[in-house]
Chains A and B, each alone.
Chain A
Amino acid sequence: MKKNNLKGWLYLLPALLFLGAFMVYPLIDVLIYSIEEGYNSASQTFFGYGLYNYSYVLHDPYFLQAINNTFILVAITVPISTGFALLISLALNSIQKLKDFFQTVYFLPYVTNTLAVGLVFMILFKKTPYSEGLVNLLISWFGGRSVDFIDGPYWAKMFVLCFYTIWVVLPFKVLILTSALASVNQDYYKVAKLDATPRWRVFTRITLPMISPMIFYLVITGFIGAFKAYSDAVALFGTDLNGAGMNTIVGYVYDMLYGNSGGYPSYASAAALILFAIVLTITCINLMVSHDNVQY
């Protein structure tokens, strides 16, 4: 038995070493960083311990802006993307012809580089001295006034960010919901058909309850994902997100760590922990709500 003990740990050793160095240690370290006041990256010294970093971050207008942007993004994209994914999946499930084709097409955004395709979105929405851009052309066809979606007013920028985020996250949700819908026992539908149950009633009384665990799974992961939004914003507005007024919480963390405004790992740690607390709270609320409503 002793020999087996040694062997077990030996097989685990590589994983333990990597996880220890790059997950467990950083986890402790981030807590320490966040309470070290006046930490200096160059000399690696600090004055003392306290909560100053948190107070600094919470009073930083850039952070407040980032919080604001992130909450708006979450509040818009999570419900819309989940609802729309449900609609698409229901449509997909009700057809036979071209189903494979549509499924393949819808999945494409998942396998593309967010930064690269974001650049395409940027040129579609951007107004330059040479061209109004394609989206503005469409708007003018319908008699609207052109808007610069990339450097223009706040709501326009937020619209593009939300639109792109939904475009990026939809494949995953559609995939999960289509397979959830396909796995609902067809006998329920047959019985409903015998009884001539109206379509809407079939949906609310059979389909929705049967797939509710998957919907809640998507809502929970959707919240977590949307709170961590960052690279979509970079793809559209460039790396200077503070300048564009479109920074997100994660973006703020990285800006504090590195780049032109970087070199403050303490502030970055405090901001990251605040984000973690927010996400944890929201997830707990979600779990409590789902516990009351989901039928397993």
Chain B
Amino acid sequence: MSVKNTDLEKIKKTSARREAIVKTFTYLLLTVWAVMVLFPFYWMLLTSIKSYGSYNSEWIPKFYATNPTLDNYRSAFTAVPLGKYILNTVVFTLTTTTLMIGVIIFAAFAFSRLQFKGRDLVFTGFLALMMIPNELVIITNFQTITNLGLRNTFTGLILPSVTSVFYIYLLKENFEQIPDSLYMAAKVDGTSDIKYLFKVMLPICRPTIVTIIILKVIECWNSYVWPRLITDDSAYFLVSNGIQEIRENGLGRENIPAMMAAVVVISVPLIVLFLIFRDKIMAGVSRGGTKG
């Protein structure tokens, strides 16, 4: 009896030890990758508070700053129009998102709630458009906007991105989950369609709309290709183009600390947004994210 007991204990012990080893390796792996992810952020913050002189005198880069300074932030805003780039991006993001939300709400409502001839045919067409990559249509859009004389204008920047077939689809699916009986009840009460949409459907579907807004804001803040094609006047640059401009001829190629200050300023808004709306953003991206 006693022999058996020690055997069991031995087995328990080895399995506990194995468990501990696996756990250690798991945490090791997770920590290593977390460091890999965080390190670039640490490095940009660190470099942005090193003075120009001390940065360039470090043949071996230091992991700390001896004389931290905020001068780089000042030169990021004065030597290049970083404030203007940010303002442009805010205007672009707000306008595009607002217009798009309006357009997709009406389209999703038509598809989910209204009966009319040709609806299903048009919807099938919409679905087919989801497969078309942006690279294919951007060529003609570039020509169209150029021919309309809309280069270097906000109109030209905004127009092509105010619809999204995917978000219409997402919202329509959500609208359809609202029971028909609610609609019928509203009809009996004499509520108009538009009032029903704004007073009943939108409040119910608020989480989806918030998700779409957040995803669109991230997309707008990071958009690079279209703004690059359509603007060459730095007065209309968005942050992505701004940072590229800063890199190629703004602060002088060697003024890395000031560049990093600009990078920090550009990165902070979205990171703050993310830390506030973490769960919403992660849920939204797993439902409708496309990057990756």
Q: Which residues of A contact B (CB under 8 A)?
A: 1, 4-9, 11-12, 14-16, 18-19, 21-27, 29-30, 33, 87-88, 91-92, 94-95, 98, 102-117, 119-121, 123-124, 128, 130-134, 137, 167-173, 175-176, 179, 218, 221-222, 224-225, 228, 230-231, 234, 238-239, 250, 253-254, 257-258, 265, 268-269, 272-273, 275-276, 279
Provide the B116-145 mask, 1 if CB < 8 A to any CB of A, else 0.
Answer: 110100100010010011011111111110
CA distance A4 to B193 in the complex (A): 10
Q: Which of B33, B110, B285 contacts A11 (CB 8 A)?
A: B110
- Docked pose: A288 CA to B256 CA in angstroms: 49
A-side contacts of B221, CB under 8 Å: 113
Asked whether, in the complex, the Cβ of A239 is within 8 Å of the Cβ of B143, the reply is no
Q: How far is the CA of A273 from the CA of B260 in the complex (A)?
A: 38
Q: List 24 A-B contacts (CB under 8 A).
A: A8-B115, A11-B106, A12-B106, A14-B107, A14-B163, A15-B168, A18-B103, A29-B139, A91-B29, A98-B27, A103-B282, A104-B275, A106-B33, A112-B271, A113-B240, A113-B243, A116-B263, A119-B260, A119-B263, A120-B260, A130-B56, A231-B240, A239-B248, A268-B139
Contact B267 A113 (CB under 8 A): yes
Task: Give Cα distance in the complex from A41 to B138, angstroms.
Answer: 16
Closest B residue, CB atoms, query A128: B254
| Number of CB contacts from chain A to chain B under 8 A | 266
Knowing A4-B115, A269-B139, the reply to whether A102 touches B34 (Cβ < 8 A) is: yes
Bound CA span A171–B59, Å? 34
Once the chains are docked, how many angstroms separate the CA of A268 from the CA of B40?
Answer: 35
Task: From the candidates A22, A116, A172, A272, name the one contacting B291 in the complex (CB within 8 A).
Answer: A172
By CB atoms of chain A within 10 A, which of B30, B109, B119 has the most? B30
Compute how far the CA of A124 lies from the CA of B39 in the bound complex, rounded to whole angstroms.
10
Known contacts A26-B136, A120-B40; decide if A107 and B274 are in contact (CB<8 Å). Answer: yes
Query: B72 → chain A, closest Cβ, in Å?
Result: 14
Q: Does B204 count as interface, using CB distance less than 8 angstroms? A: no
Chain B hits for A124, CB < 8 A: 40, 43
**A26 partner residues in chain B, CB cutoff 8 A:** 136-141, 144
Say yes or no: A15 contacts B106, CB within 8 Å: yes
Distance to closest chain A CB from B21 (angstroms): 12
State whether A119 and B218 are in contact (beta carbons under 8 Å apart), knowing that A172-B285, A257-B142 are contacts in the complex: no
A18 to B218, CA, bound (A): 21
Q: Tell me if A's interface is mostly helix, strand, loop or mixed.
A: helix
Measured in the bound complex, the distance between the Cα atoms of B286 and A257 in whole Å is 34
Bound state CA distance, A25 and B274, in angstroms?
A: 37
Q: Is B224 an interface residue (CB 8 A)?
A: yes
Is B37 on the interface with A (CB-CB < 8 A)? yes
Can you list, as one digit per residue, whether each of B59-86 has a CB less than 8 Å from chain A (1) or not (0)?
Answer: 1110000000000000000000000000
Please state if A22 and B141 are interface contacts (CB–CB under 8 Å). Answer: yes
The reply to whether A228 and B133 form a contact with Cβ atoms under 8 Å apart is: yes
- Shortest Cβ gap from B274 to chain A (Å): 4
Q: Are B143 and A265 in contact (CB under 8 A)?
A: yes
Pairwise interchain contact A107-B282, C-beta atoms closer than 8 A: yes
The residues of A that contact B248 with a CB separation of less than 8 Å are: 238-239
Q: Give Cα A134 to B50, complex, Å.
A: 15
B59 touches A225 (CB 8 A): no
**Contact (Cβ within 8 A) A108 B56:** no
Question: Whose C-beta in chain B lies nearest to the C-beta of A109?
Answer: B37
Give chain A residues whose Cβ lies under 8 Å from the Cβ of B278.
Answer: 104, 107
Contact A22 B30 (CB under 8 A): no
Q: Which residues of A contact B188 (CB under 8 A)?
A: none
